[in-house]
Amino acid sequence: MSKSSTAAVDLRALRALAPTKHFSYHHQASVTSLDFDDSGQYLISAGVDQSIQLYDVHKGAHHRDVQSQKYGAHLARFTHQGLNCLYASTAQISAGASADNGAGTDTHQIRLLNLENKQYVRYFKGHHHQVTALEVNPVHDRFISASVDGRVKLWDLRSSHDVGAVSAPGAQALGYDPQGQVMAVASVDSLRLYDPRQCERGPFLDTTIAGGASLTRLEFSNTGKTVLLVTASGNHLVVDAFTGAVLTRLAAPGADFSGFHYPTASATWSPCGKYVLAASATAPTELHVFDLTRLRTSDGGVRTVKPDDNSEVTAPVASLPSPHIAKVVAFDPKLMVLASADNSVVLWQPQFD
């Protein structure tokens, strides 16, 4: 089951988004990841307090607290099987142990957890250093992970051992296209696209990304034609998935293209793939809405894009007051609900006068 959208999204509804629920179950600790399940009913957050929190979006209520004090918790992601989630460890290797002698294999394993009974289903061993990115295939029971060890690994949820790997030193963000047939690996200066069934053949698209800003996220639009690269500088890139060309940059007024000045940078597509919502780099207590309904893209065939078809820079069409610095944002795939997080989790819904 994929996270294909059934939410009715338009600019009027996005302009009307406002906080409706506020959760503080991470006890003022920073929240590092958010993810909705396929149904859109449940949301999970992971935080530096070494816990995973589960929320029922339909009820607007906190549903479950899961502690992971021994291993830490980061990059919590739902699978397609009930309330099961994957997450990465944040525990450090003990003094005297070495990642080279295998100590890091257990320390940095990925865990598959049943959130209902709080039991572990499986452990995925293979990375020797901190896991830095983790994404679930939107269609199949597979996932990918990147690590400081310079490897991107491909996994099947039925096996504890990886089913493939590619060398990717410096990989900062991963993603799948909506059909789960393309795997994307991005670093500070490159974007590579692979066929996950034949990753050993290397990328079928390898493009250089100018700018030099660290990446915090990679996300395909719902059509699979464009890729959103979320940068630490707050100037996010929309890239043509067929050619690798940068179609436009998303930047609020006053943002500095050269910089690493802003501690916050998060952004996500709306489920319809026509808009991007991003935390503000210049006004930390705002969320910006970018309208990309007129963005021209290629189609992998006869339709191509010329350099002057799109604006080099796209400015936001709306700014939404936020109760906190939105370090992480995620859009519900089925409902008109946005989630944001700093040291608390906030749910947003349209509030019409």
SS (H, E, C) the chain: CCCCCCCCCCHHHHHCEEEEEEECCCCCCCEEEEEECCCCCEEEEEECCCEEEEEECCCCEEEEEEECCCCCCEEEEECCCCCEEEEECCCCCCCCCCHHHCHHHHHCCEEEEECCCCEEEEEECCCCCCEEEEEECCCCCEEEEEECCCEEEEEECCCCCCCEEEECCCCCEEEECCCCCCEEEECCCEEEEECHHHHHHCCCEEEECCCCCCEEEEEECCCCCEEEEEECCCCEEEEECCCCCEEEEECCCCCCCCCCCCCCCCEEECCCCCEEEEECCCCCCEEEEEECCCCCCCCCCCCCCCCCCCCCEECCCEEEECCCCCCEEEECCCCCCEEEECCCEEEEEECCC
The closest of 338, 304, 352, 327 to 33, measured between CA atoms, is 327
Q: Give me the pLDDT at residue 3, please.
A: 65
40 and 55 Cβ atoms separated by less than 8 Å: no
d(CA 221, CA 5): 11
**What residues does each domain of the chain span?**
11-95+104-350
Q: List strands edge to edge, sheet with 173-176.
A: 173-176, 183-186, 190-194, 205-208
pLDDT tens string for the chain (353 positions)? 456 655 679 999 999 999 999 999 999 999 999 999 999 999 999 999 999 999 999 999 999 999 999 989 999 999 999 999 999 998 765 444 444 444 455 778 999 999 999 999 999 999 999 999 999 999 999 999 999 999 999 999 999 999 999 999 999 999 999 999 999 999 999 999 999 999 999 999 999 987 777 899 999 999 999 999 998 888 899 999 999 999 999 986 655 444 433 345 799 999 999 999 998 766 678 999 999 999 998 876 556 676 677 788 999 999 999 999 899 999 999 999 999 999 999 999 999 87
The CATH fold of domain 11-95+104-350: Methylamine Dehydrogenase; Chain H (2.130.10)
The closest of 187, 167, 273 to 232, measured between CA atoms, is 187
